[in-house]
């Protein structure tokens, strides 16, 4: 039986807080004993990143990881097993240096956690960076993994997010700058020669927020192209790659935060509007295999011949080739908005409960948000849980608004491809 998000939150609070209170003094005592004999390396040599639950964040942390690698650190990563694929898009971390925890059951969670703690010591990890925003579980993993230098976000004088005192380098989390800059501030703290209270007393220029582009396998690109052409042919759609545009619509968002979804009806209306503007172009409605029925409802209501249900048609590894072949994607604030940044694909991303100022795509993207007084309603302070059951912030985004940005992005794509 899989563990629900709310169950995870409850365990993190009701079990995590007491455990942090018990484990913190033990870790402090062990640190004191170790420091008598050896203070460890002066700079990180074997650096572990811990980011369990967010696939998109595994992409957004890439500039920070490459920064650490450029400073001479060997990279390791701990992530939930279900999210491991996100690290394969750029392959910044060696496959053998990726540790996973199975979150599908409590038994698997406990077993893999214990296995990780053994492996971390076996690999002699000297530095651990907790990327999660005030999770007690990751604080415990950071504290108990054996690393002498432990970096993460600390609440200082804030209330309600206490998670012990196992961090040796405490970083102030800044909700007013993009998350990639927050991640880069953790790297500064890890490599700093002097302790700062709080870390990090530096300016992080926009130039450092730059994602590497994925290396596209020509064979994979051709396979995805052939699959698209085959589906178009079966649907009696006259589609010529290169000549006709390829537009992606991603209507779903993860169950982690369903309030991020723009209504199915709106996506159907958008497809109709795009087709009216560009009648010869192909529209693919994307999603995972589990989202097929959801996507099919969007397609059926739109009832446009040139719009195909593409849910489950590509593997995760085939997303970069799909994005490379496409011109524009419209998506809710979800993983694809970040996965696509490893390619040159232009996107239009719809925001509501979250803010693009913090989690906006760092690629060729235009963010749309209604900017209501209540938005964003999810943050580190509430562990991304909102009482909202009526996402007016998403309902306030209109089809003409989105169509206008799609047209703008398509014109830019045409110019880039000299079409």
Inside any domain, residue 181:
yes
What is the predicted pLDDT for the residue at 1?
46
What is the predicted pLDDT for the residue at 343?
96
**Are both 177 and 243 inside the same structural domain?**
no
**Are both 201 and 252 inside the same structural domain?**
no
**Are both 186 and 229 inside the same structural domain?**
no
The CA-based angle 291-294-375, given to 5 degrees, is 95
Ordered per-residue pLDDT tens for the chain, 419 residues: 467 888 888 999 999 999 999 999 999 999 988 888 877 778 999 999 999 988 889 899 999 999 999 999 999 999 999 999 999 999 999 999 999 999 988 899 999 999 999 999 999 999 999 999 999 999 999 999 999 999 999 999 988 899 999 999 999 999 999 999 999 999 999 999 999 999 999 999 999 998 999 999 999 999 999 999 999 999 999 998 888 999 999 998 777 788 999 999 999 999 999 999 999 999 999 999 999 999 999 999 999 999 999 999 999 999 999 999 999 999 999 999 999 999 999 999 999 999 999 999 998 999 999 999 999 999 888 888 899 999 999 999 999 999 999 999 999 999 988 77
Last residue of a domain, one of 208, 226, 248: 208
Question: Burial of 352 by CB count in 10 Å (0-12 exposed, 13-18 middle, 19+ buried)?
Answer: buried
Inside any domain, residue 138:
yes
User: What distance in Å separates the CA atoms of residue 106 and residue 267, rounded to the nearest whole number?
Assistant: 37
What is the predicted pLDDT for the residue at 115?
98
**Are both 50 and 173 inside the same structural domain?**
yes
**Are both 93 and 176 inside the same structural domain?**
yes
The answer to whether residues 101 and 81 touch, using CB atoms and an 8 Å cutoff, is: yes
Residue bearing tokens 């040159």: 344
- Give the contacts of 276 (CB within 8 A, at least 6 positions apart): none
User: What distance in Å separates the CA atoms of residue 249 and residue 238, rounded to the nearest whole number?
Assistant: 19
Last residue of a domain, one of 150, 176, 208: 208
Inside any domain, residue 136:
yes
For the chain, give percent helix, strand, coil, nearest 5: 45, 15, 40
Inside any domain, residue 266:
yes
Inside any domain, residue 18:
yes
Inside any domain, residue 213:
no
Q: Count the domains in the chain.
A: 2
**Are both 165 and 204 inside the same structural domain?**
yes
**Are both 270 and 384 inside the same structural domain?**
yes
Omega into 136 within 30° of 0, i.e. cis? no
**Are both 43 and 117 inside the same structural domain?**
yes
Strand partners, 80: 101
The tokens for 266 are 């709106």
Inside any domain, residue 239:
yes
Provide the 8-state DSSP code for 226: H
**Are both 102 and 200 inside the same structural domain?**
yes
Strand partners, 250: 331
User: What distance in Å separates the CA atoms of residue 134 and residue 381, rounded to the nearest whole number?
Assistant: 8
Last residue of a domain, one of 208, 238, 267: 208
Q: What are the start-end ranges of the H helices in 95-194?
A: 106-122, 136-144, 179-191
What is the predicted pLDDT for the residue at 51?
96
**Are both 302 and 336 inside the same structural domain?**
yes
What is the predicted pLDDT for the residue at 332?
95
The answer to whether residues 146 and 120 touch, using CB atoms and an 8 Å cutoff, is: yes
Range of the domain at 286: 218-416
**Are both 169 and 299 inside the same structural domain?**
no
Strand order in the sheet with 282-285: 307-309, 282-285, 246-250, 328-332, 346-351, 364-369
Please indicate, yes or no, whether the overall pTM of this predicted structure exceeds 0.75.
yes
CATH number at residue 55: 3.40.50.2000
**Are both 270 and 396 inside the same structural domain?**
yes
Neighbours of 42 (CB within 10 A): 9
């Amino acid at each position: 039986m899989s563990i629900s998000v709310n169950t995870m939150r409850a365990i993190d609070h009701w079990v995590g807080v007491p455990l942090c209170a018990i484990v913190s003094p033990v870790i402090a005592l062990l640190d004191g004993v170790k420091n008598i004999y050896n203070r460890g390396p002066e700079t990180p040599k074997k650096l572990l990143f811990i980011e369990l639950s967010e696939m998109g964040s595994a992409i957004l942390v890439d500039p920070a990881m490459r920064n650490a690698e450029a400073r001479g650190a060997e990279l390791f990563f701990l992530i939930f097993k279900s999210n491991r694929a996100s690290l394969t898009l750029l392959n910044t971390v060696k496959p053998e240096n990726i540790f996973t925890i199975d979150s599908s059951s409590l038994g698997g969670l406990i077993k893999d956690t214990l296995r990780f703690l053994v492996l971390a010591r076996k690999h002699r990890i000297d530095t651990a960076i907790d990327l999660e925003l005030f999770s007690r579980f990751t604080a415990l993993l950071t504290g108990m993994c054996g690393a002498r230098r432990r970096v993460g976000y600390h609440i200082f004088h804030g209330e309600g997010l206490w998670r012990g005192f196992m961090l040796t380098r405490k970083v102030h989390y800044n909700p007013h700058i993009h998350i990639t800059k927050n991640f880069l501030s953790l790297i500064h703290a890890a490599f700093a020669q002097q302790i700062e209270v709080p870390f990090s007393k530096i300016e992080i220029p926009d130039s450092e927020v730059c994602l590497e582009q994925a290396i596209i396998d020509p064979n994979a690109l051709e396979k995805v192209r052939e699959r698209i052409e085959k589906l178009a042919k079966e649907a009696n759609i006259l589609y010529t790659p290169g000549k006709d545009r390829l537009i992606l619509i991603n209507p779903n968002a993860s169950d982690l935060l369903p309030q991020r979804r723009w209504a199915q009806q709106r996506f159907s209306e958008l497809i109709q509007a795009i087709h009216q503007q560009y009648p010869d172009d192909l529209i693919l409605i994307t999603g995972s295999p589990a989202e097929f029925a959801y996507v099919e409802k969007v397609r059926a209501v739109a009832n446009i011949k040139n719009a195909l249900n593409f849910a489950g048609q590509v593997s995760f590894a085939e997303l970069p080739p799909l994005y490379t072949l496409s011109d524009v994607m419209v998506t809710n604030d979800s993983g694809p908005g970040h996965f696509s940044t490893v390619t040159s694909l232009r996107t239009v991303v719809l925001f509501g409960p979250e803010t693009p100022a913090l989690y906006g795509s760092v690629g060729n993207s235009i963010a749309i948000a209604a900017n209501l007084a209540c938005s964003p309603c999810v943050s580190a302070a509430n562990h991304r849980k909102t009482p909202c059951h009526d996402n007016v912030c998403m309902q306030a985004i209109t089809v003409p608004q989105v169509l206008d940005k799609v047209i703008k992005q398509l014109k830019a794509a045409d110019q880039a491809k000299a079409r």
